[in-house]
Amino acid sequence: MKFTVSSADLLKALTTVAGAVPNKSTLPILESILFERDEDALVLAATDLEISIVMRVPVAFESNGTEGKDRVAVPAKRLLDTLRALPDLPVTFMSDGEFNVEMTTDQGRYKMVGHDGGDYPALPSLDDAQAVETTTALIKRAIDKTSFAVSKDAHRPAMMGVFFQMHPEHTRAVATDGHRLVKLQMDGVTADPALDFVAPEKAISLAARAISTDDQACTLRVGGGYVEFDFGDTKVVGRMIDEQYPNYEAVIPMENDRRLTVSRDALLAAVRRVALYSSSMTHQIRLALQPDELTISAEDIERASEAKERVLCEYSAEPMEIGFNSDYLAQVLQNADADDIVFEFSSPNRAGVVTPASQPDGEEMLMLIMPVMLNTYA
């Protein structure tokens, strides 16, 4: 195999594919990236046996001096480090029959030993799986707006991914870690017959990074225990989480008699400032609701520090105090795309429902944030 390509283009493609390369593996070949020729395109692939990424890259193949195999696995770390250290210039890549790899430029020559590409594990194929046609913009929005609430707790594996409920009328993407919950419903993504599956956080994160533009087509395939995000030249395949997702609907309070409307930017800025004075252990802040006024306060007894700010709002119910983790509250506010945010509460010890005051056509977003106990009602 012999071809010439821009070092910057090759590095960009390899950086995307390398997201599936494990740092350490009992199979050394998995720490490599598979190079394979498919007619006039170079196919790069990597897998950790849970997540796989495949990418097609246009290169200029040469016919002379290509006695080597058309499949070779190249050590990922050394290859990427070399390309990162090079300026943007043409690079000629060549591998021989013994799987020795050589890269040459007009400034130097770099050699390393590769692996037999025939020994690289076979990647899952979802060509016969159920396909859902959509766009990269919708998939990226579903990922971006839910991934912040995915659980990191290995004891609750079902919650370590995004739960997709695809139906003929709409699709819901749900994520929760027990402290926060986000449910995004989009009319622009549909599936018939319906599909329910949990996509692992790593797979959706790599899929979002692989998206180059928001206006390209995307095919989602589900089957055989895998989900595939097909963006044309790039495919990201992840093994689905085979666990029952919790009944998230049961934890959403339905009867909330306290409604607060407030400027998103004003509240987020106040939360960030006041949080600097909260306990470094609990990150607790207190929200005191009064008619048309919201007071955010925090204190850290160990450091003898405290802060308090007032924010104008629309609120006409009974006064109430409720506590939140400032980090969780800030993340919820960051992901609400609207000038004004609506909070709905029932009591200080029940979850608060957060929704944007205005939402795009064909979309409904609802977020939930669990309170923390305050000594005023403990």
**Residue-level pLDDT at 374:** 76
Contact 368, 180 (CB under 8 A): yes
Map tokens 């007894």 to a residue. Answer: 301
Distance set, CA 209 to CA 16, 182, 231, 232, 287 (Å): 7, 21, 11, 14, 36
**Residue-level pLDDT at 377:** 41
Exposed e or buried b per residue across 242-271, where buried means at least 16 C-beta atoms within 10 angstroms of its C-beta? eeebbebeeeeeeebebebebbbebbbebb
CA gap 378, 87 in Å, rounded:
62
Closest residue by Cα to residue 214 from 290, 137, 144:
137
CA gap 285, 93 in Å, rounded:
57
Closest residue by Cα to residue 19 from 251, 238, 175:
238
**What's CA 69's distance to the chain center, in Å?**
36
Amino acid at 281: M
To the nearest 10 degrees (0 to 180), the angle between helices 201-210 and 136-144 is 140
What strands, in cross-sheet order, belong to the sheet with 352-356? 195-200, 161-166, 171-176, 180-186, 363-369, 352-356, 340-345, 258-263, 305-314, 293-300, 284-290, 320-325
CA gap 148, 150 in Å, rounded:
6
Domains of the chain: 2-119 (3.10.150.10), 133-211+222-249 (3.10.150.10), 252-369 (3.10.150.10)
pLDDT tens digits in sequence order for the chain, 378 residues long: 899 999 999 999 999 999 999 988 889 999 999 999 988 889 999 999 999 999 999 998 886 544 555 899 999 999 999 999 999 999 999 999 899 999 999 989 999 999 999 999 999 999 889 999 999 999 999 999 999 999 999 999 999 999 999 999 999 999 999 999 999 999 999 999 999 999 999 999 999 999 988 788 999 999 999 999 999 999 999 999 999 999 999 999 988 999 999 999 999 999 999 999 999 899 999 999 999 999 999 999 888 899 999 999 999 999 999 999 999 999 999 999 899 999 999 999 999 999 999 999 999 999 999 999 876 443
* SS3 annotation, 48-68: CCCEEEEEEEECEECCCCCCC
Q: Is 72 helix (H, G, I), strand (E, B) or coil?
A: strand
What's the count of helices (H) and strands (E) in the chain, helices before strands? 6, 26
**Residue-level pLDDT at 202:** 95
Give bridge partners of residue 130 from the DSSP assignment.
222
Amino acid at 237: V
